[in-house]
Amino acid sequence: MHSFKITPCRPDAASLTALLDLCFGPGRLARTAERLREGNSPVPDYDFCAHDAQGQLIGSISFWPLYIGQEPAVLLGPLAVHPEHQGLGLGEQLMQTALQAVEATRFPFVLLVGDLPYYERVGFQVAPRTVRLPGPVDPTRLLVKGDSALCADLTGLVRPAPDLC
């Protein structure tokens, strides 16, 4: 039986780094999405953690402020779940909890790089090809969540927006 508790929190840097390294490996810092976190700060109200019964960090999600062209948005990620707890719904629960906290009037769009079959369960769709990241990304993995009609009109370069924190 796997039990866990999801709470709003920003994990300590050492625990978070260890979890991210375990989940994504050392190459994670070379990914294009990481360029959107450099020089940026997570939105503290949208950080959530999952801990097991012993209080160990087993999951984490954060959001980073962005502009998509001129539109405010947040980048979801990283979403990490300890390998021993994957496949149990923890990632989806972290996502649902955190997405409920995102204020749509402040950040009408949520962007991420990920697998559509996993993220479409919570409302993500492939972003328009007019949305560009500051580095290479498979366009079928660039996903957005928001009002579908408004998402279809998104255009422009995605860039960090620390001024929106």
According to the model, what pLDDT value does residue 29 have? Answer: 65
Residue 1 has pLDDT above 80, yes or no: no
Rounded to two decimals, the pTM is 0.92
User: Structural domain boundaries of the chain?
Assistant: 4-164
Instruction: Return mean pLDDT, the chain.
Output: 92
pLDDT in tens, 22-45: 888 877 766 788 889 999 999 999
Q: Are 133 and 159 in contact (CB under 8 A)?
A: no
pLDDT single digits (tens) 91-118: 999 999 999 999 999 999 999 999 999 9
Number of other CB atoms surrounding residue 47 within 10 Å: 19
CATH T-level assignment (fold) for domain 4-164: Aminopeptidase (3.40.630)
CB neighbours of residue 84 within 10 Å:
11
* Contacts with 121 (C-beta within 8 Å, 6 or more apart), sequence order: 92
